[in-house]
A and B are shown apart, each in its own frame.
Chain A
Amino acid sequence: MGVIALDRLEVRLGGRTVLNGLTGELRGHAVGLLGPNGAGKSTLINTLLGFHEPSGGNAKVLGLDARTDRMRIRQSVGYMPENDSFIGNMSGVRFVRYMAELSGLPPAAALERAHEALFYVGLGEVRYRKISTYSLGMKQLIKLAQALAHGPKLLILDEPTNGLDPTARQRMVQLIKEIRKEGSMHMLISSHLLRDIDETCDEVLILNKGRIAAISNIEEERRSHRNFIEMEMTGNTEAFAEKMQAKGCECARFAGGRVKVVMPDALGQRDLYVIAAETGAEIRRIQTRRDSLEDIFLRAMEYEGGRIDHVSLPA
Chain B
Amino acid sequence: MSVFQHDYRPYDGPTTALWKRPLVLARYGLAEAWGSKITVGLAVLGLLPCVVDLVLMYLADNPVAKMLVVGGSKVLEINEKFFFGVLETQCWFALVLAAWIAPRLVSFDLGDNALPILLSHPLSRFGYVLGKFIALVVSLSYVTWIPVLILFLYQCYASPVPWAAGHLGLAVGMFLGAVVWIVMLSLIGLAVSSWVKWRVIATGAMFAVIFVPAGVGGIANAILRTKWGFLLNVPVVMSELWQRLLGAPDIFNGRLELPNMAIAGVLIAASLACVAVLNARIRAREVVRG
Contact = CB atoms under 8 A, between A and B. Distances in A.
**Do A and B touch, yes or no (CB under 8 Å, in the complex)?**
yes
Interface in B271-288: 283-285, 287-288
A79 B119 CA distance: 10
A87 B122 contact: no
A49 to B, nearest CB: 5
Which label, helix, strand, loop or mixed, suits the secondary structure of the B interface? loop
A184 B11 CA distance: 10
A146 B117 contact: yes
Interface stretch (B21-29, B52-60, B63-71, B74-82): B21-29
Nearest to B28: A98
20 contacts: A42-B285, A46-B285, A49-B284, A72-B122, A85-B113, A85-B116, A86-B117, A87-B112, A98-B28, A102-B24, A102-B123, A103-B121, A104-B17, A105-B13, A119-B6, A120-B7, A143-B117, A148-B8, A151-B12, A185-B10
A249 interface: no
Contacts of B115: 85
Given A85-B113, A87-B109, A184-B10, A104 B16 contact: yes
A84 B112 contact: yes
A3 to B, nearest CB: 16
Contacts of A52: 285
Contacts of A113: 11
A277 interface: no
A86 B14 contact: no
B111 interface: yes
Contacts of B14: 106
A74 interface: yes
A66 interface: no
B111 A74 contact: no
Contact of A86 (B21, B114, B283): B114
A172 to B, nearest CB: 15
Interface of A: 13-15, 42, 46, 49, 51-52, 70-72, 74-75, 77, 79, 81, 83-89, 98-99, 101-106, 109, 113, 116, 119-120, 131-132, 143, 146, 148, 150-151, 178-179, 182, 184-185
Contacts of A184: 8-10
Given A51-B119, A146-B117, A88 B285 contact: no
Contact of A46 (B109, B284, B290): B284
Contacts, number: 116
B15 interface: yes
Given A14-B287, A74-B120, 18 more contacts: A14-B288, A15-B289, A49-B284, A71-B18, A71-B122, A71-B124, A72-B122, A74-B123, A75-B122, A99-B118, A102-B24, A103-B122, A104-B15, A143-B117, A151-B9, A151-B11, A182-B8, A184-B10
Contacts of A88: 108, 111-112
A102 B28 CA distance: 11
Top 9 nearest A-B pairs by Cβ distance? A151-B11, A104-B15, A79-B120, A102-B121, A51-B284, A184-B10, A151-B10, A71-B122, A74-B122
A106 B16 contact: yes
A89 B13 CA distance: 30
A14 B124 contact: no
Interface residues of B, number: 41
Nearest to B6: A119
Interface string B35-55: 000000000000000000000
Contacts of A178: 8
B200 to A, nearest CB: 15
Contacts of A74: 120-123
A79 B123 CA distance: 14
Contact of B112 (A85, A101, A102): A85
- Of the listed residues A46, A71, A84, the one surrounded by the most CB atoms of chain B closer than 10 A to its CB is A71
A104 B112 contact: no
A52 B111 CA distance: 22
A76 to B, nearest CB: 9
Contacts of B11: 105, 109, 113, 150-151
A51 B285 contact: yes
Contacts of A182: 7-8
Nearest to A119: B6
Contacts of A150: 11
Nearest to A142: B117
Nearest to B125: A51
A113 B290 CA distance: 43
A13 B15 contact: no
Nearest to B120: A79
Contacts of A179: 8
Contacts of A104: 15-18, 21, 122
A59 to B, nearest CB: 16
The listed residue with most A CB atoms (<10 A of its CB), out of B14, B108, B122, is: B122
Nearest to B17: A104
Contact of B8 (A75, A120, A131): A120
